[in-house]
């Protein structure tokens, strides 16, 4: 079980690195001068590659988490209300990941409706979710 838990932590941390950095690329894309096609294309290439890579990291992170939950019973049974809250955070993270993909498509099609300030705020969501998830897993408040 410790191997599974270790790899789960590694893949979750790696996935979060992408969730933290991709919106920072969006901030830069939102600030690019429309006449600067080379800069825009370079940032889009970086964003595409990062999105693909973080999707590949999310799959084992989620799979190993399910293995810990289902296979080893972590977070199941009485007194594990914290796990229900963690499931909500996981669903929100998957939704955030998907939203990043949709935003990337909007940048690619040239229909981005948001400012760089909006992306700066959007970038804070995974930080809050990570803090809450770590507190739930370590402290198990309920």
> For 30-89, what is each residue's pLDDT tens digit?
999 989 999 999 999 999 999 999 999 999 999 999 999 998 888 787 778 899 999 999
Backbone angles phi, psi at 75, to 5 degrees: 85, 10
**16: Cα within 13 Å, side-chain hemisphere:** 18
32: which DSSP letter?
Answer: S
Assessment of whether the complete model's pTM goes beyond 0.75: yes
What is the pLDDT, as a whole number, of residue 73? 83
Domain that holds residue 39: 2-139
Given a cut of 90, is residue 19 above it in pLDDT? yes
**For residue 137, pLDDT beyond 90:** yes
Q: Residue 67: helix, strand or coil by DSSP?
A: helix
Q: Where are the alpha helices (DSSP H) in 1-142?
A: 2-31, 37-66, 81-109, 116-122, 125-139
> How far is Cα 20 from Cα 134, in angstroms, rounded to an integer?
16
- Tell me how far apart the alpha carbons of residues 103 and 37 are, in angstroms, rounded to a whole number: 18
Instruction: Using alpha carbons, select from 48, 22, 36 the residue that is nearest to residue 119.
Output: 22
pLDDT above 80: residue 18: yes
Q: How many domains does the chain have?
A: 1
| pLDDT score at 74 | 80
Taking every pair of Cα atoms in the chain, the longest distance, rounded to a whole number of angstroms, is 60
The predicted structure's pLDDT at residue 75: 79
Give the mean pLDDT of the chain.
95
Q: Residue 77's pLDDT is what?
A: 78
List the structure tokens of 137.
């897993």
Radius of gyration in angstroms for the set of CA atoms belonging to the chain, rounded to a whole number: 17
């Amino acid at each position: 079980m410790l191997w599974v838990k270790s790899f789960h932590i590694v893949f979750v941390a790696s996935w979060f690195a992408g969730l933290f950095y991709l919106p920072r690329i969006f901030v830069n894309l939102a600030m690019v001068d429309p006449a600067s096609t080379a800069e825009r294309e370079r940032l889009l290439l970086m964003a595409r590659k990062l999105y693909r890579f973080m999707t590949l990291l999310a799959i084992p992170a989620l799979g190993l988490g399910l293995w810990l939950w289902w296979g080893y019973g972590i977070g199941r049974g009485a007194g594990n209300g914290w796990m229900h809250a963690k499931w909500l955070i996981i669903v929100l993270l998957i939704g955030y990941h998907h939203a990043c993909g949709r935003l990337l498509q909007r940048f690619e099609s040239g229909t981005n409706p948001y400012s760089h300030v909006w992306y700066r705020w959007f970038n804070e969501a995974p930080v809050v979710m990570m803090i809450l998830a770590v507190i739930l897993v370590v402290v198990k408040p309920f």
